[in-house]
Amino acid sequence: LAKTTQPISMDSYEGQEVNITCSHNNIATNDYITWYQQFPSQGPRFIIQGYKTKVTNEVASLFIPADRKSSTLSLPRVSLSDTAVYYCLVVGVGNMLTFGGGTRLMVKP
Amino acid sequence: EPEVTQTPSHQVTQMGQEVILRCVPISNHLYFYWYRQILGQKVEFLVSFYNNEISEKSEIFDDQFSVERPDGSNFTLKIRSTKLEDSAMYFCASSAGRETGELFFGEGSRLTVL
């Protein structure tokens, strides 16, 4: 099971771009990189998933270098409502998601 | 947008009592999961369920826990004899496929064991 390492916390201000980097040095060939968001007292919510290069959706972008040993979640122009915990997960067959401690993002006015 | 619904939102029970947490997964999903999160700690996998049987379970999911899909819509988690350390937020999730990595989580059921 690939272990992930990400910052414990980050602070940002409204309107800024936030980049959260995650390292996963022992990612396996069939693993995908997946990010979830969790607000207090709510269930995690899927944000984005990728295998390599760049993936973009209406919420975020995910950058994955060629060696796939790290990935960066990019949140454009954050708002106060983006304050949450962001989890980087490496997901293989079976969807048995293993959540780490995540990155607690605080967006300030 | 379809969503996973869970009941109750909060349950308080006495130690040793049985508790059943209920979930209605998204209707066309085939894979179902229970996770839990003790206050201030990580989200932990408990069990996955497919085709009316358990696919995988963690060490946490011991003989005190069981899951069931009693009809075509509900997915339940039963804790036979609750312990203080079972106090947590329990999240149900469902997915369309087994390898997508995209799980849809419910809002959770907060269990408090006194």
Residue-range domain boundaries for chain B? 5-96+104-113
| CA A59 to chain centroid | 12
CATH of domain B5-96+104-113: 2.60.40.10
What is the CA angle B75-B57-A31, rounded to 5? 105
Residue A75 lies in a domain: yes
For residue B10, list chain A residues with Cβ-Cβ distance below 8 A: none
Q: Judge whether residue A1 has pLDDT over 90.
A: no
Per-residue pLDDT band for A95 (boundaries 50, 70, 90) equals: low
Per-residue pLDDT band for A64 (boundaries 50, 70, 90) equals: very high
What residue of B is the nearest CA neighbor of A103? Answer: B42
Higher pLDDT, B99 or A10: A10
Which of B56, B91, B110 minimises the CB distance to A96? B56
Q: What is the pLDDT of residue B83?
A: 96
Which of A32, A93, A97 minimises the CB distance to B45? A97
B interface toward A at CB cutoff 8 Å? 4, 31, 33, 35, 42-45, 48, 55-56, 89, 91, 93, 95, 98-108, 110
Q: What is the pLDDT of residue B101?
A: 83
Residue A4 lies in a domain: no
Q: Judge whether residue A80 has pLDDT over 80.
A: yes
Q: What is the pLDDT of residue B2?
A: 78
Residue A73 lies in a domain: yes
Which of A42, A94, A102 minimises the CB distance to B98? A94
Q: For the purposes of burial, counting CB atoms within 10 Å of the CB of B47, is it exposed (0-12), middle (13-18) or buried (19 or more)?
A: buried
Distance CA B47, CA B57 (A): 4
Q: Are B87 and B27 in contact (CB under 8 A)?
A: no
Domain count, chain A: 1
Distance CA B78, CA A99 (A): 23
| Domain of residue A22, residue span | 9-108
Residue A54 lies in a domain: yes
Q: Are A35 and A72 in contact (CB under 8 A)?
A: no
Residue A90 lies in a domain: yes
Q: Does A98 touch chain B (CB under 8 A)?
A: yes
Kindly state the tokens that stand for B58.
Answer: 């963690």
Which residue has 């003790």 as its token pair? B38
Q: What pLDDT tens digit does each residue of chain B (114 aa) get?
A: 779 999 999 999 999 999 999 999 999 899 999 999 999 999 999 999 999 999 999 999 999 999 999 887 899 999 999 999 999 999 999 998 877 788 999 999 999 999
Q: What is the CATH number of the domain that holds A31?
A: 2.60.40.10
